Amino acid sequence: MKPFFKTQTLEQVHGLARQVEALESESVPLASLLGRTLARDFTAPHDLPGFARSTMDGYSVRGRDTFGAGEGSPGYLTLSGEVTMGEPPGFALEAGCCARIGTGGMLPAGADAVVMVEHTRIVDERTIEVARSVAPGAHVLGPTDDAEKGQVLLEAGRRLRPQDVGLLASLGASGAGVVSRPRVGIISTGDEVVPVSGSPRPGQVRDVNTHTLASQVTAAGAVPVPLGLVPDEEHAIREKVATSLDQCDLTLLSGGSSMGVRDLTVGVFLSFPGSQLLVHGVSVAPGKPFIWVRKDAHALLGLPGQVASCMIAFHLFAEPILERMLGREARSFTRFVRRRAVLTRNVPGVQGRVAYQRVRVREREEGLEAEPVLGKSGLLRTLTRADGLVTVPLGCEGLDEGSVVTVLLFP
């Protein structure tokens, strides 16, 4: 039943993840666009601002009428009108004239610059003294300075930030087409595991993975669908997986940590017609027993049951697949910040695998310091006490105390 399968590298898993396709798009209103991925290029439907607009409070002028004006030799212009905010001026500016204008006001025809109010003085009802010359275009936004009709302003695949949402709003879009958020079915297994609400008897522990994974899925921009806890039993697991295949885009099955259950997971995944085993074991620590079975566009993933290993395996393997489903690049640790730090102790490598060591980070005068968090790797506390991870490469016996390393800081 279980095919012979070679342990793969993380790079090979990324290579497979690159073949995952983005989900369909959906239309989402402005208020919910933050962090979503644009599905199609956004093109300006009209010029923006669409008219010449003042960026200062002052007087709209013809720039050439101010040439030669300065502190010692002011110029004088005839005040011929005032621009009302939000309305086109009902007049054109004649030579030698100026018109009062506020920030954001529309320049009258004939005007091409604005003199700031700070550089002017009211002489009388009809005369303004100008103590500064301005070039045509000064303190003015041109009609197409923010956007030109037909121009591509935001490209497909962009993760929308507040300013991008603002740009859509400025051009009258009530929302945008974005890549749908993947629905992620979360299943915990283990005969020794009880729900959080339960009181574990000796030998039992509570279901932690459902909650850490749901939080990780949310942080990754996907939608967690917790499907509950099942015993290590083929029929029960298969039923849950079938539900997830039906309702979700990706399944995270954690657990199966006890003897023989790993094979059970592969067996259940492959029992669905058309399913294909892509990965069974990766040369990383923790995360080695990772399983990936493809069933149509759905990714069935088996993660280790130990809570700390399960969390790291999520970042290593599930994140790049989710990123692709979201229309982005297949990368691990996408939301982790990378910082250089000096190691305070030796960190051993793991034979034949890339190892991820939890570290605590401290700010020092000289820069960051990374202190390995000791304790058995199954312990959740090694992660709650840690600020990030340090990678020990494949084939490296270990990292020396005092060496400079890159820390992946938890988001």
- The SS3 call for residue 379 is coil
Neighbours of 90 (CB within 10 A): 9
Is residue 331 part of the contact set for a second copy (CB under 8 A)? no
Angstrom CA distances, 104 to 66, 189, 243, 407, stand at 22, 61, 56, 47
Backbone angles phi, psi at 268, to 5 degrees: -65, -45
**Binding residues with a second copy: total (CB under 8 A):** 92
CB closer to a second copy, 164 vs 371: 164
**According to CB under 8 A, which one of 162, 228, 367, 395 is a site residue for a second copy?**
162
Binder among 8, 25, 180, 212 for a second copy (CB under 8 A): 212
Q: Least distance to a second copy from the beta carbon of 381, Å?
A: 5
Contact between 330 and 324 under an 8 Å Cβ cutoff? The reply is yes
**Taking the complex as a whole, how short is the minimal distance between the CB of residue 318 and a second copy, in angstroms?**
12
Query: Binder to a second copy among 16, 176, 208, 250 (CB under 8 A)?
Result: 208
Per DSSP bridges, beta strands 250-254 and 298-303 are: parallel
Is 202 a binding residue for a second copy by CB under 8 A? The answer is yes
Helix, strand, coil percent values for the chain (each to nearest 5): 20, 35, 45
76 C-beta neighbours (distance < 10 Å), count: 13
Structure tokens at 317: 């393997």
Q: Taking CB under 8 A as the rule, does residue 36 contact a second copy?
A: no
d(CA 281, CA 353): 11
Q: Which amino acid is at 128?
A: I
**Which of 295, 293, 267 minimizes the C-alpha distance to 280?**
293
| Interface with a second copy (CB under 8 A), residue from 105, 185, 286, 287 | 105
User: Of these, 169, 297, 374, 404, which contacts a second copy (CB under 8 A)?
Assistant: 169
Closest C-alpha among 319, 385, 315, 306 to residue 356: 315
Identify residues 233-272 at the interface with a second copy (CB under 8 A).
257-259
Please state, in angstroms and rounded to a whole number, the distance separating the CA atoms of residues 163 and 185: 33
* Residue among 1, 3, 24, 163 that touches a second copy (CB under 8 A): 163
Cβ of residue 51: shortest distance to a second copy, in angstroms? 5
Please tell me whether residue 50 binds a second copy under the rule CB under 8 A.
yes
Least CB distance to a second copy at residue 201 (A): 7
- Residue closer to a second copy (CB basis): 16 or 171: 171
Residue 273 Cβ, how far from a second copy at the closest point, in Å?
Answer: 31
Q: Assess 117 for contact with a second copy (CB under 8 A).
A: yes
* Closest separation in Å from C-beta 84 to a second copy: 8
Interactions with a second copy, residue window 269-328 (CB under 8 A): 305-308, 311
Minimum distance, C-beta of residue 314 to a second copy, in the bound complex (Å): 8
Q: Which two tokens stand for residue 101?
A: 């204008």
How many residues does the structure list for the chain?
411
- Measure CA 407 to chain center: 19
Does 337 participate in binding a second copy (rule CB under 8 A)?
A: yes
Binding segment (CB under 8 A) for a second copy, from list 15-23, 123-131, 185-193, 399-407: 185-193
Cα–Cα separations (whole angstroms), residue 67 to 73, 79, 101: 11, 17, 20
The span of 8-16, 45-53, 68-76, 321-329 binding a second copy (CB under 8 A) equals 45-53
